[in-house]
Amino acid sequence: MRRAWQPSIARVAGGLVLLAAASAAIAADAEEIRGWLDRMAMAVNNLNYRGTLVYLRGGQVDALRIYHRVDQDGMRERLVALNGAHREVLRDNQSVRCIFADSQSIVVDTRIAERLFPVIPPDSAALLGGRYQASLDGSERIAEHEAQIVSILPRDGFRYGYRLWLERDTAMLLKSNLLDDRGDPLEQLMFTEIEIGGSISDRELAPDLPGDRYVQVEIPRGGDPAEGAPEVIHWQVVDVPEGFTLSSHTHGDRHTLEHMVFSDGLASVSVYVEPARENEPGLSGYSRVGAVSMFGRRVRGFTITAVGEVPPSTVQMMARSVQQRTVGGAAK
């Protein structure tokens, strides 16, 4: 009778074989997903392409024309708005220039601004093994190209998910959805037509707007300490969701703007600290524009604002935990 409850060696061995096979299949899928994401990161940055895409967020639809070229001189990119006021964005390895026809102005940002496409780290292994889980979800035809669908879903409630459509041969991103906690799209980007490869001429990268009589405004990096000077951090974020780390911190003296950026490799949150202005109440509490969540509050005459394409709980946690540091480095 006792023997009937004892599993046979054959059954145990069979179970181990099935478990090993399942583990190998999971490992193979993870390796394939990493391959797709690593190729996508390379394709978006290093391929030549031109195309037309639509960008949906917050109930607004923008149609854009994009030209992207990489050669021995580096990367150059031009975005042209096809609806609404005439505007163009010119990007290279050093800066971003935004040209606005309605206000006849040019804004030059000497920092590398955020890209239109999701930024996947060049080596996605750490990303997939951390706060996200990824899967291959079939294929679909986008802009006359066959695309592999890759889903990247968060393991907690502090970040959003992505669904990506990657061109079969090059892994170029053809479509992306930013997903909320229910899997519904908050933002959508999709090429309606695209030409991958080939040459991009200087003329295609040159702006149509003249700009010679436009007012130019330059946004400097700001807050960088002088060369050789010790870095002094006046503020810190005490409560940071697991997986997010400080990727940059720019600052000046106690009367100037302080800017911290936290990233988990896919999502990022910016935290700003600046002197409160009497005639400008600033953001108080929670606000949201499309997928961008914002939370603001005042502390000892300073305005603190956390902003990012993350759920409301993330910016609220981080903004509420910002504390000023004493000279000795402790928070207060």
pLDDT tens for each residue of the chain, 332 residues long: 444 445 555 554 454 444 443 334 334 478 899 899 999 989 999 999 999 999 998 788 999 999 999 999 999 999 999 998 888 999 988 888 888 888 778 887 755 445 677 777 666 665 666 789 999 999 999 999 999 999 999 999 999 999 999 999 999 999 999 999 888 999 999 999 999 999 999 999 999 887 777 877 776 554 444 444 445 558 899 999 998 999 888 876 555 678 899 998 889 999 999 888 776 666 778 888 888 899 999 887 888 999 999 999 999 999 999 998 755 555 55
- Residue 22 is predicted with a pLDDT of 37
DSSP string, 97-157: EEEETTTTEEEEESS-PPPSS----SSTHHHHTTTEEEEEEEEEEETTEEEEEEEEEESSS
b/e map 183-216, b = 16+ CB within 10 Å: eebbbebbbeebebeeebeeeebeeeeebeebee
- Residue 232 is predicted with a pLDDT of 55
* Of 112, 231, 119, 212, the residue nearest 164 (C-alpha): 119
Which residues, in sequence order, are CB contacts of 103 under 8 Å at separation 6+? 215
C-alpha gyration radius of the chain: 24
- Parallel, antiparallel or unpaired: strands 322-324 and 302-308: unpaired
Structure tokens at 163: 């669904």
CA dist 146 and 144 (Å) reads 7
End-to-end CA distance of the chain: 70
Q: Residues 282, 303: contact at Cβ < 8 Å? A: yes
Structure tokens at 278: 């009497």
Tally of CB atoms within 10 A around 234: 16
Which residues, in sequence order, are CB contacts of 34 under 8 Å at separation 6+? 124, 125, 128
* Of 216, 171, 167, 225, the residue nearest 193 (C-alpha): 167
DSSP H/E element including 16: helix 9-46
Q: Taking the complete model, does pTM exceed 0.75, yes or no? A: yes
- Residue 25 is predicted with a pLDDT of 38
- Residue 326 is predicted with a pLDDT of 59
Q: Residues 62, 80: contact at Cβ < 8 Å? A: no
CA dist 232 and 71 (Å) reads 39
- Residue 149 is predicted with a pLDDT of 97
* Of 22, 30, 256, the residue nearest 124 (C-alpha): 30
Tell me the three state secondary structure of residue 327.
coil
The β-bridge partners of 179 are: 161, 185
319 backbone dihedrals φ, ψ, rounded to 5°: -65, -40
Structure tokens at 84: 């609404």
- Parallel, antiparallel or unpaired: strands 215-219 and 105-109: parallel
